[in-house]
Amino acid sequence: MTISSDPKQVKQICFDNINVPGMNTLAVARENGAYAFLPTVLKDFSSSKIIDEMKTSGLRGRGGAGFPTGLKWSFVPRNTGKPIYLLCNADEGEPGTFKDRDIMRFDPHLLIEGMIMAGFALGVKDAYIYVRGEFVHEINVLNAAIKEARAANLLGENILGSGFSMNLVVHRGAGAYVCGEETALIESLEGKSGRPRFKPPFPAVEGFYGCPTVVNNVETLSTVPAILEHGGAWHAAIGIPNNTGCKIFSVSGHVNRPGNYEVPMGTSMKTLIEEYCGGLQHGTVPKVIIPGGSSTPWLTAENYNVPLTYDDIMKAGSFLGSGAIIVMDETADLVALTRRLAHFYAHESCGQCTPCREGTGWLERVITRVENGQGTNDDVTVLSEAATHMAGRTICALAEGAAAPVLSLLKHFPEDVQACLGENAA
C-alpha cells in the first residue's frame, strides 16, 4: 500500500492504485505494495489482534446494511468442529451500484489479499467469491489473479510458510438480484435456488452447509489490508465517528461526470456531485437523489448538503446502502422512473413470500396504468396501501426495496402522479 500515514491526507483506500496500468497482474500489484504486509500479518498477528484492529477501525460493511465488520467476525464460534467459511459477496445487483466491479477488474489482488487476511483471522480453509453471472470479464480477471497468487504460494497450502492454508474459488451466480442477499447467496452457492432464509440463525453462526460463515462485500474485504497495515486507529481517524474510513460512491443519472468516486465519509452530497461529478446537467439543485441504490427512499433538494454518512442519511430519511447515488434533475419523469423500478423488482422477486410475490407485480401493473394516463385516484390509494403493507412483512428486504420508490414518489411528488391521471383523476 502506498497511501499516506496521515489520515487527514487520505482520500482513497480501495481505489488507491485503481488507475495503475496492469494492476491486475501480480508483478505490477507487488510493485505497488500488494502482499507486502501479508507476511507480517501471518507471522505476528493473532486472530484476536486482527479482530480487535477491525473493531477499532470502525469499518462498517459496504454491501448495504452497514454492519460493523469486526463485530461480525467476533460472532463466529470457534472450535465447534465445523469448518468456517468466508464468502465474498460480489453479486452487485443493486441498481445504480457498480463499484465492486472496478475493484475486481482493476485491482483483484487487493480483494484477494483482504480475503487471505480475513480468512487467516477467522480460521478459514475454503473461501469463495460469489460473482454475478454477467461479470464475465471480471470473473476471468479474478481467476487469472487467483492462479498467479496460488503459483506464488499466496493461496493454497502453507501460505508463505506460515502454516496457514486457504483455497479461494470464484463461483459464478446466475444473475439474480435476490442472490445478493446473504442467505440467498448461501442457498445458491449450495446449489439450490436462491431464496433467502429466516434469520436468526445468522450466517456467522449457521451459514454455508450449516457451518459458521462470514459474508462480506468486495469493498469491505478490500479495505482490510490497509486497516491491518496502518492500524485500526488510523482508519478510525478518517471520516467521522461511527462512520469511519472512505467509501466508494457510484454516481449515475443527471450529473456531468458519472462514475465511481472514493471519498472520506462525511463529505457532503453537494461536494460529491459538484466537485467530483461536475455538477448537474440541468438546473442548480437535484430534484431527486436516491442515496444508496434504487431500493433506498428518495431524498430531495432540501437534503442536497447532507454529509455522506450512514447516520446523517438515516436522519434525512433514507439509507446510505451500497453508496449508489442516482441523481435526477428537473427533466426527470419520475412516474416513468418508478414504473421502470417496479418492473425490476417484480422481475427479481424470488416468489417465496406472498406480500413480495403479489405486491411487486401489483405495483408494476398499477403504476404502468398511471403512467399510461389510465389511472384513477383509487389506483393511487392502492399503490400507497400495497407498498405500505409489503414492507417489513417478508423474509428479506427486497419487498421493502420495491416499495421505496413508490412510497417516495407519492410522498414527495404527488403532483407528478396527479398530472398523469388527467381526466381520470376523480
Ligand X SMILES: Cc1cc2nc3c(=O)[nH]c(=O)nc-3n(C[C@H](O)[C@H](O)[C@H](O)COP(=O)(O)O)c2cc1C
Which of 141, 154, 335, 398 touches ligand X by CB under 6 A?
Answer: 398
User: Can you tell me which residue has the cell 436462491?
Assistant: 194
User: Residue 154 and residue 185: Cα distance in Å, rounded?
Assistant: 26
321 touches ligand X (CB under 6 A): no
Nearer to ligand X, 223 or 338 (CB): 223
129 and 142 in contact (C-beta within 8 Å)? yes
Q: What single letter denotes the amino acid at residue 387? A: A
Nearer to ligand X, 180 or 207 (CB): 180
> Could you tell me how far CA 401 lies from the centroid of its own chain?
14
91 touches ligand X (CB under 6 A): yes
Site stretch for ligand X (CB under 6 A), options 92-100, 139-147, 239-247, 281-289 = 92-100
DSSP SS3 for 215: strand
> Could you tell me how far CA 163 lies from the centroid of its own chain?
33
DSSP SS3 for 240: strand
327 and 252 in contact (C-beta within 8 Å)? yes
Which of 24, 32, 220, 300 touches ligand X by CB under 6 A?
Answer: 220
Site string for ligand X, 180-199 (x = CB under 6 A): xxx-----------------
- Compute how many residues bind ligand X; rule: CB under 6 A: 22
Site stretch for ligand X (CB under 6 A), options 25-33, 205-213, 373-381, 391-399 = 391-399
How much is the CA Rg of the chain, to the nearest whole Å?
A: 22
Nearer to ligand X, 24 or 188 (CB): 188
Which of 93, 96, 194, 286 touches ligand X by CB under 6 A?
Answer: 93
Alpha helices in 75-175 (DSSP H): 100-106, 108-122, 136-151
CB of residue 93 to ligand X, shortest distance in Å? 4
User: Residue 260 and residue 99: Cα distance in Å, rounded?
Assistant: 6
CB of residue 211 to ligand X, shortest distance in Å? 17
Nearer to ligand X, 38 or 178 (CB): 178
Q: What single letter denotes the amino acid at residue 251? A: V
Cβ neighbours around 5 below 10 Å, total: 11
Site string for ligand X, 49-78 (x = CB under 6 A): ------------xxxxx-x-----------
Residues forming the site for ligand X (CB under 6 A):
61-65, 67, 89, 91-94, 178, 180-182, 215-217, 220, 396-398
